[in-house]
Structure 1
């Protein structure tokens, strides 16, 4: 338990980019953490049990915004932060009520509403991207007339590419809307499709990057430009690569665009994760996220030694942060993460033993896989449908490309359900590792 003399930091917690254990590790000697969350929520219960006795948990189950703000105020916080997309607006409300540093309510709204964000970027002159609101299938034709085809259909509010796909006609758009909406009425947006230029990064690589930044009193500080392996259709992200395989001039253009977007959205404090498409017309904003990106802290710290979670906590408390320009920890090597994302369609994956051999491939340090009862193959779950993560490093981007080809070949057998001997599973996950040096972050 943290010393009572330390300042109190509220973490409005939900599924996101930092676990409670990771947050407590970064907070050691810095602050006393109180988690505001739904204590018995099924997706949070296990990780909250892991911190029992090490941090206070304030239960906000069934509380409205006003009640949460009053509870937060009673805890006499020195700062508030969230690592969850789903809690940005609530955190902004707490910050306003308690007079703490975080996104304003207006900024939090633009960061969590894809339509408002496109409108703000357009009105500021940063980037004009066709975008139309759509809820009912009967609105598909008129929305596509504004945006053009093909277009990207996605929820107005959401993350992880859930229910996100490409549509090429009004009929296809109507069909997808009907499937996505079901009985629930949800708002969607149709966005102009930003066509990537594979020549910007080379074969076997994703045609987009992300920029990881810390925002200090309205000024963005770039931590990293992160490369990507190719997407799994329709738009499911498969990991991160550091450093990105882009020339310095292109990286400069990407950062310049990202910083203009950050300022246009009024972001003053905290971390941002901005996805940027590399097109023949130059870099284009896919979206700006007002929090630390998923898996980003791990690969940044593994590659450079810089602790973004600790930096986010310090910013929330109003403490100075070190300049995010550390020397690479792993020298000239290329660090990567690769998510095991099921392909589309109804598949019956093979037994877990088919994944065990992945750890034997040169460059892979750790294979972390969920137990089979947690596997799903529905593409609509987006990135959240990953069944595992591979971590490692190689000497060059070309070597990584070769490794990814080998991975995709082996995973193809697994997704087709090739039958071999199945290993014994222990606990909630299994790790196969080649290296005792892998940092457990």
Structure 2
């Protein structure tokens, strides 16, 4: 039928891309069918989505959602990258091969693939049982990083500088308990040591828009990491000079070719070391909240581009101008937090010059799971004339906001405390403390 609008299947899980942004951005692109794994049916984010477009639920262990009349499939979630690739291949749609999807989501397979193609050889070893520790640490050496082979949001990601402590940590993560083992499989990899970037983080990301294997790249700069490896914020355009930008984009490009990434948007994290840029990891979806910061800086929507590429279309990408500095910041919860009770000071914050918007990412009263995964409490989007003005605004924000949270003590007892932004772990990004 002439003029028929294309139909896009969106594999959706709650995360960095909210349902409002999803609907607003993608409805002009195509007719949408949103598919959600059935175990997520009761998630509050899915309830919000259902008010705008009722999703279809599917069994993640079955053949996947119905693809009748579908012209493309896209996801913005790590956990659904493999499903999207499988559906694209089975139905002849633009996307990745299942092998590429595995390499994008399995950190050991990814490290092995990049090394085999001569892109970046980072020492690493696989751990499936605590007894694997001695072999792994002999291969990798210390300092090192231990993390799940499949995971996101820095879940159970730890630096290791002592062999005995590392052995105990691996035993804790791989030994089954009442609810099973916290992790099924870990990777130990050499710790990449970054070079001083002044007040900024010693790593960056490269967002890539790839059509039929040809990529357009955009580097973003980061604020300092919060221990152990949690990300509090980012800004655009990057602070890197032209030569450094060329180095990181070339590395990202070679990595994507080695992984045989063909269609879509990717997020490559890169450490800025004395030996040059090194791959931290390549993700088969856009980076968390990167679409917002790029759009506020004046660039094209990555959400829109990912959808268009899934449909086999490749509209031109508009990069942000160099004269508009946009940035984001999230206050991060303490690893012992069990609940966000309330937040004070948001009304005054929103009146500050340069603030575009501020929102809570966690509803007050909703339980939190203690641990070292990145738990963002809120999201600030703002603009500034330069980096000094950016950090000055962030300091004012930290003075204005007060977070009342419940913390779990070592004896299991919970207590309610009120903390300023300066008393949360994320303040380390502004205090000059290195992760």
Q: TM-score range by the shorter chain?
A: 0.7 to 0.9
Is 1:209–1:226's contact at 8 Å kept on the other side of the alignment? yes
Per the alignment, residue 150 of structure 2 pairs with: 157
Which of 231-240 and 168-177 deviates more? 168-177
- Matched residues in 1 for 2:341 and 2:61: separation? 45
Correspondent of 1:392 among 372, 376, 382: 382
Tell me the residue number matched to 1:252: 246
CA distance in structure 1 between the partners assigned to 2:110 and 2:326 by the alignment: 32
Conservation of the 8 A alpha-carbon contact between 2:38 and 2:60? no
Task: Decide which moves more: 162-171 or 20-29.
Answer: 20-29
Is residue 225 of structure 1 aligned with residue 219 of structure 2? yes
Flag the 1:419–1:58 CA change in 2: closer, same or farther, 3 A.
Answer: closer
Residue 55 of structure 2 aligns to a residue whose secondary structure is strand
Partner in structure 1 of residue 366 of structure 2: 374
1:189 is matched with 187
Contact 2:339–2:365 under 8 Å retained in 1: no
Query: What residue is the counterpart of 2:61 in the other structure?
Result: 64
Q: 1:112 maps to what in 2?
A: 105
Shift, 1:140, TM fit: 1.9
Question: Which of 288, 308, 333 is 1:314 aligned to?
Answer: 308
Match of 1:335 among 311, 317, 326: 326
Per the TM alignment, residue 160 of structure 1 is displaced from its structure 2 partner at its CA by 1.0
| 2:201 counterpart residue number | 206
TM-score for both structures, normalised by structure 1: 0.83
Q: 1:426 maps to what in 2?
A: none
Q: CA deviation at 1:240?
A: 1.6
Preserved contact between residue 39 and residue 45 of structure 1 (Cα < 8 Å): no
How many angstroms does 1:306 deviate by? 1.0
Pick one of 289, 296, 300 that aligns with 1:302.
296
Aligned partners of 1:40 and 1:109: how far apart in 2?
Answer: 22
Secondary structure of 1:72's aligned partner = coil
Structure 1 Cα separation of the partners of residues 106 and 255 of structure 2: 15
Q: Post-superposition shift, 1:362?
A: 4.5
**Distance in 2 between the 1:133 and 1:19 partners?**
34
CA apart distance, 1:40: 6.4
Q: 8 Å contact 2:120–2:279 — kept in the other structure?
A: yes
Sort the Cα spacing of 1:341 and 1:409 in 2 relative to 1 into closer, same or farther, 3 A: same
| Counterpart in the other structure of 2:237 | 243
- How far is 1:393 from its partner? 1.1
Distance 1:348 1:270 in 2: 36
Deviation at 1:17, TM superposition (A): 3.9
1:288 to 260, 282, 302: 282
Q: 2:344 aligns with which of 341, 353, 366?
A: 353
**2:66 aligned counterpart, secondary structure:** helix
TM-score where L is the length of structure 2: 0.84
CA apart distance, 1:372: 3.0
Aligned residues: 404
Q: Distance in 1 between matches of 2:55 and 2:31?
A: 12
Q: 1:32 to 1:373 in 2, by over 3 A?
A: same
CA distance in 2 between counterparts of 1:402 and 1:257 reads: 33
**Within 1, Cα distance between the matches of 2:60 and 2:342?**
43
Say which structure is richer in strand. Answer: 2
CA-based RMSD = 2.8
Task: Give me the whole-angstrom Cα distance separating, in 1, the residues matched to 2:339 and 2:12.
Answer: 34
Could you tell me which runs of 5 or more consecutive residues in structure 2 were left unpaired when the two chains were aligned: 408-415, 421-435
Correspondence for 1:402 among 381, 387, 392: 392
